Amino acid sequence: MKVFKFGGASVKDAAAVKNLAEIVKMYNNSLVIVVSAMGKTTNSLELVLKAYFENKPEKTQYFLNVKDYHLKIVEELFPAGHAAFEKTVKWFDELFEKISTEPSMTYNFEYDQIVPYGELISTTIVNEYLNYAGVKSQWLDVRKILKTDDNYREANVLFELSAKLAKETIKHGEGKVYLTQGFIGSTKNNLTTTLGREGSDYTAAMIAAFLNAEFVTVWKDVPGVLNADPKWFDNTVKLDKLTYTDAIELAFYGASVLHPKTIQPVKQNNIPLYVKSFVNPAEEGTVIGNFMYDKLIPCFIFKIDQVLINIHPIDLSFIAEENLQYIFSVLARYSLKVNLMQNTAVSFRICVNNDSTRIPLVIEELEEYYRISMESGLELITIRYYDQQTIDRVLEKKEVLLEQHNQRTVQMVVRKVL
Ligand code: ASP
Ligand code: MG
């Protein structure tokens, strides 16, 4: 049994769906396929949700934009009168009914009742197309197996229960393919939940772990995991192999290739995870697993729009346990994630993403006991397997404000010099 994951870009239009079917045909059995919403649908549904929640009339137009986009794809994929039309329209009718009611509960709850339609609709269309193209594919509502708590928008998976349900539900006969949704789940009371943006990789990894899959393949629009984001770097290299630990570290520091939670479930079960190109499916890609490297390749991660916050106790007390405990309780209360930190005797510095809602709340609370200064517009550069040459290369025209080295990784908060 194998698990495939196809993200939004791999189902963004009719040609992409056809390409997905070609890839599935190359394997075509004992497969569970996890699919995201088509293209940028999740963003578009977030607009629908916001307008719905704020009772804005634009909600109808936003809804129609999402509907038109999907129906155009259905039109390109199927002959007139195919069941895919009716099934797709049925989801949109249901969603329209939902947005015609008054929003009742909290924003996060409503989010999880609206945004998951992206995945429900994409999997319906892709499943219909696979069958139309001759693949025996069965649509599976992942909410029947992936059970979570009710922490809407960032739901935590109930592993044991979900594993049991997955094993009971997914039974592979000859040549059978199951097609299901990433990113979504449901509570024990069957209310829909989501796992956090970009959560479909995580869904695929969990399903692989539940069923002890041979491997997971995440199909992407890049040839594999690269040592840097080509957006910032010209000479990127594809990494043929990556250890689980390195994959976790890179994802955690902000490499956008995989959701940071993805590696844990496959690592625990020693399941290899391949990252491959859906454009060139015959190419090798990257394999993430347990092994020794032949050679270490420096990996770079850039995070832009960083803010450095300097925190000085007004009473000049030392930055030790009590101050740190207090500062972190404030950070945790507002869920402001620290990307890098450093302390001296009487100051504490943290580097965070420029979050315009959370930062002012944190500062306001801290200002009671601390003098705060801030600098924004910075970059955080992380290099794993660094050497002096690579550091020099990235620091061209940059001034370092804060840095931290350990054996494998260097992190630097930098300001551009003009
Ligand atoms: N469709 C969701 C998102 O865009 C989940 C995913 O793509 O992984 O965040
Ligand atoms: Mg995605």
Q: How many domains does the chain have?
A: 2
Nearest CA-CA partner of 222 in 276, 168, 186, 177: 276
Last residue of a domain, one of 156, 184, 214: 214
Residue 248 lies in a domain: no
Distance 199 CA to ligand 1 centre (A): 6
In a domain, 9, yes or no: yes
Residue 353: exposure state from Cβ atoms within 10 A (0-12, 13-18, ≥19): middle
Residues 318 and 203 in one domain: no
Task: Decide: 40 in ligand 1 pocket, CB within 6 A.
Answer: no
147 belongs to a structural domain: yes
409-416/398-405 β-pairing? antiparallel
Query: Which residue range(s) make up the domain with 410?
Result: 299-416
Asked if the structure places residue 411 within a domain, the reply is: yes
Domain of 346: which CATH number? Answer: 3.30.2130.10
Cβ(410)–Cβ(403) under 8 Å? yes
Q: Which amino acid type is present at position 358?
A: R
Q: Same structural domain for residues 39 and 168?
A: yes
Q: Domain boundary at 197, 214, 231, which?
A: 214
Residues in the chain: 418
Ligand 1 mean position, distance from CA 36 (Å) = 6
pLDDT tens, N- to C-terminus, the chain (418 residues):
999 999 999 999 999 999 999 999 998 678 999 999 999 999 999 999 999 999 999 999 999 999 999 999 999 999 999 999 999 999 999 999 999 999 987 899 999 999 999 999 999 999 999 999 999 999 999 999 999 999 999 999 999 999 999 999 998 665 689 999 999 999 999 999 999 999 999 999 999 999 999 999 999 998 999 888 887 777 888 999 999 998 988 887 777 778 888 999 999 999 999 999 999 999 999 999 998 888 888 888 889 999 999 999 998 888 888 899 999 999 999 989 999 999 888 889 999 999 988 999 999 999 999 999 999 999 999 999 998 888 998 899 999 999 999 888 999 999 999 8
pTM score: 0.87
CATH of residue 107's domain is 3.40.1160.10
**Predicted local distance difference test score (pLDDT) of residue 28:** 64
Output the CA 189–ligand 2 centroid distance in Å. 27
- Are residue 338 and residue 195 in the same domain, yes or no? no
Asked if residue 157 and residue 53 are part of one domain, the reply reads: yes
Q: Which residues pair with 220 in a beta bridge?
A: 277
**Together in a domain, 200 and 304:** no
Q: For residue 69, is it within any domain?
A: yes
Burial class, 243, CB count within 10 angstroms (exposed 0-12 / middle 13-18 / buried 19+): middle
Q: Are 379 and 291 in contact (CB under 8 A)?
A: no
- SS3 label, residue 139: strand
Q: How far is CA 378 from the centre of its chain?
A: 24
- Does 85 map to a domain? yes
Q: Show which of 214, 236, 258 is a domain's final residue.
A: 214
Q: Do 15 and 123 belong to one domain?
A: yes
What span, in angstroms and rounded, lies between the C-alpha atoms of 384 and 410?
Answer: 7
In a domain, 50, yes or no: yes
Give the residue whose CA is nearest to atom 6 of ligand 1: 198
Would 272 be classed as within a structural domain? no
